[in-house]
Structure 1
Amino acid sequence: MKYDCLIVDDEEVLSQSTCEYFNLFGVKTAWVADSTTCINFFQENSAEVILLDINLGNTSGFDLCKRLRETISVPILFISARTSDDDMLLALNIGGDDYIKKPYSLSVLLAKVKAVLKRYQAQDGKSVISGGIKIDYELRRVFVQGQEITLKSMEYKLLTYLVENKNRIVSKDEIFRKVWEDYIAGDNTLNVHIRRLREKIEQNPNEPRYIKTVWGTGYVFEEDKQ
């Protein structure tokens, strides 16, 4: 069965209320409480976005995220009462696309999930070629100098937006609005994604040819003519 959203959280009352709220507003959602049930869920079902708690009883959402990323590329949004930057950076570095702190507003969380679902709907099948970067929208594949690279969902969204606005300075605020589609994401989140993206598309991430930093403003994707 195909679902829009899967919640993985051992807080039963909160998870059930979130699940019911999402379903009420047309986002088909399921809920599981632990890692084993989550893995079993994907043997017979699919979901387009995952809301994943860090604390899952005797297991960790971090470990589950690593396992899921071996076979699943859909967006994973961490939801957690943990507030440290270390936890957030770890979540993003192992494959998470966003980090949402508890307690959360159901209406705000629903809006974020809807934005993610809208963002990853199938596009029109065109390809964009800029310098040594080719983006195939239909297959959601990215090639650098003819070699295919693997991008996580938010990295893909960030790259496509920068490429489509090449040779123009894109402010951080604009990226939050157009890529994350809100202002909740912070500078640390953006910096982590830029760094990971550079590591995948740049020959030397410390001296980028494509994604340049405009200090105090944002970033610019400069088309490489080489």
Structure 2
Amino acid sequence: MESETVAKYQCLVVDDEIDLASATCEYFEMFGIHSAYVTNSEECLSFLKDNEVQILLLDINLKEESGFILCKKIREESNLPILFISARQSDDDILIALNIGGDDYIKKPYSLSILLAKVKVMLKRLEERDNNATKQANNQLKTIKDIAIDEDARKIYVKEREVQLKNKEFNLFLYLFHHRNRVVTKEELFSNVWGDKFFSDGTLNVHIRKIREKIEEDPNEPKYIKTIWGIGYILEL
């Protein structure tokens, strides 16, 4: 069964000042920027899981969990542009926000027109980036049977379905892809993917399992990544 169509939003505001968040979204909508707001970290993560968002406006002083912690969680999974919006004025707060993955910092109280201008500039850059990526896709995409891989964009596709891999998972899969149809030893993977021959088997096993969960129809009966017991793995294509 095909999944339901994912709703697309150009902007998500994360702020527990409901009146301000609502007013910001209403203002953006007047200028054709489809927006929504949530008031805490849990709602934000759930929204991002179920919807497609281009830009995040994130307050620092959330009640249950700070925007700094939420930013770190998002950065583990996504390069979604994050603009901090906060009443905190210190240089230390600004530096922390930018160092943990924020793309910009806007101080409250902010002008809706200035905020709109910043968001429009960022959306334009995202559009240009996506257009350039589309133009280059045919040259960058290498396809072997059911699997296609774009090394520059760090994306893989299984039967034309994009699969989201974390950084280390992608590096591991990429190495197996380059050495497909031959047995790759555990020591070789540790040396070339982790840069250290002395990692534990458990570390490798967990990463292989997570990749299988994302690319295999049945992770318990893998079609692509096969285990060669006592030796390593083989990617069969």
Q: Fold-level match, TM-score > 0.5? A: yes
Q: How does 1:48-63 map to 2 (within 5 A)?
A: 48-63=54-69
RMSD: 1.9
Query: In the alignment, what sits opposite 1:93?
Result: 99
Q: Which amino acid aligns with 1:60?
A: S
Is 1:113 matched with 2:108?
Answer: no
Is 1:75 matched with 2:81?
Answer: yes
Is 1:47 matched with 2:53?
Answer: yes
Residue 11 to residue 99, structure 1, CA distance change in 2 (3 Å): same
> How many percent of aligned residue pairs carry the same amino acid?
56
Give the counterpart of 1:66 among 60, 63, 72.
Answer: 72
Cα distance in structure 1, aligned partners of 2:113 and 2:107: 14
Give the structure with the larger helix fraction. 2
Structure 1 residue 70, shift from structure 2 partner? 1.1
Higher RCO by CA contacts (8 Å cutoff, separation 6 or greater): 1
Structure of greater Rg: 2
Q: How does 1:163-178 map to 2 (within 5 A)?
A: none
Residue 139 to residue 25, structure 1, CA distance change in 2 (3 Å): farther
Query: In the alignment, what sits opposite 1:164?
Result: none
Q: Is the 8 A contact 2:41 2:64 kept in 1?
A: no
Query: In the alignment, what sits opposite 1:16?
Result: 22
Query: In the alignment, what sits opposite 2:44?
Result: 38
Cα distance in structure 2, aligned partners of 1:62 and 1:47: 19
Q: What are the ranges of 5 or more consecutive residues in structure 1 without an aligned counterpart? A: 128-137, 143-149, 151-226
Shift >6 Å, 4+ stretches? none
Structure 1 residue 89, shift from structure 2 partner? 0.3
Q: Is the 8 A contact 2:8 2:51 kept in 1?
A: yes
TM-score by length of 2: 0.53
Structure 1 residue 140, shift from structure 2 partner? 6.4
Query: In the alignment, what sits opposite 2:32?
Result: 26
Cα distance in structure 2, aligned partners of 1:38 and 1:55: 14
Give the counterpart of 2:90 among 66, 84, 92.
Answer: 84
Count of residue pairs the alignment pairs up: 133
Q: Which amino acid aligns with 1:63?
A: I
